[in-house]
Amino acid sequence: MDEETSDEIMAATYRALCDHGFADLTMQDIADESSKSKAALHYHYDTKEKLLQAFLEHILDDFEDRLASETADPRDRLQTFLEAVFGPTEDDRGDFPVALLEIKAQAPYHDAYRERLAAMDERMRETVADAVRDGVAASDFDDADPDDVARFVVTAINGAHTREVALGEDPSETRRLVESYLDRTLDPTPEMVA
Q: Check pLDDT > 80 for residue 88.
A: no
Residue 100 within any structural domain of the chain = yes
Q: Tell me whether residue 136 is in a domain.
A: yes
Residue 36 region by backbone torsions, left for phi larger than 0, else alpha for psi between -120 and 50, else beta: beta
Domain residue limits at 125: 3-186
Q: Is residue 161 part of a domain?
A: yes
What total number of domains does the chain contain?
1
Does position 86 have pLDDT exceeding 80, yes or no?
Answer: yes
pLDDT band at residue 41 under the 50/70/90 scheme? very high
Q: What is the rounded distance in angstroms from the CA atom of residue 19 to the CA atom of residue 21?
A: 6
List, in order, residues 6 or more apart from 156 with CB less than 8 Å away.
174, 177, 178, 181
Separation between Cα atoms, residue 33 and residue 8, nearest integer Å: 9
The predicted model gives 134-159 an average pLDDT of 95
CA 129/CA 148 separation, integer angstroms: 8
Q: Which domain CATH number covers 31? A: 1.10.357.10
pLDDT in tens, 182-194: 999 998 665 544 4
49 inside domain: yes
Q: For position 93, what pLDDT does the model report? A: 46
Query: Is 191 domain-assigned?
Result: no
More confidently predicted of 126 and 165: 126
DSSP conformational letter for 108: G
pTM value > 0.75: yes
> For the chain, what is the mean pLDDT?
87
User: Is 194 contained in some domain?
Assistant: no
Classify residue 181 as exposed, middle or buried by CB count within 10 Å of its CB (0-12, 13-18, 19+): middle
Percent of the chain surpassing pLDDT 90:
53
